[in-house]
């Protein structure tokens, strides 16, 4: 059962809903770059949703704190994904992570 008092769970589910509502192809997680300053990835959209801007550096660090994740969790969510992941898969992974605390890209 969903713990509505868990802000991490709520933040992840809210982000999943937000990403799901974006236009097709809004998620661009087929690039591996550092400090890209775009809102194409999970971290970028999390920061953009909260602040309306995406800084040119430190996006993953900001999103990690914003979503109340550990360094290990943010590494798995923001960097250890399969090449060219779909928007639907991102939403699925976020929801599973929110409800089970498991990040599973398979």
Interior/surface letters 28-56, b for 16+ CB within 10 angstroms, e for the rest: ebeeeeeebebbbbbbbbbbbbeeeebee
The pTM of this model reads 0.84
Q: How large a percentage of the chain has pLDDT more than 70?
A: 83
Q: Which residue has the higher pLDDT, 3 or 55?
A: 55
Greater confidence (4 vs 79) lies with: 79
Mean local confidence (pLDDT), 22-38: 62
**How many residues would you count in the chain?**
106
What is d(CA 34, CA 23) in angstroms, rounded to the nearest whole number?
24
- CA dist., res. 53 & res. 100, Å (int): 30
């Amino acid at each position: 059962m969903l713990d509505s008092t868990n802000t991490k769970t709520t933040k992840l589910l809210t982000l999943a809903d937000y990403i799901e509502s974006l236009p097709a192809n809004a998620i661009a997680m087929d690039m591996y770059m550092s400090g890209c300053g775009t809102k194409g990835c999970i971290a970028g959209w999390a920061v953009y949703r909260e602040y309306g801007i995406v800084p040119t550096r430190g996006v993953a660090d900001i999103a990690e704190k914003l979503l109340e994740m550990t360094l290990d969790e943010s590494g798995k969510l923001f960097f250890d994904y399969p090449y060219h992941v779909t928007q639907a898969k991102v939403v699925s992974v976020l929801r599973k992570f929110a409800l089970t605390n498991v990040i599973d890209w398979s």
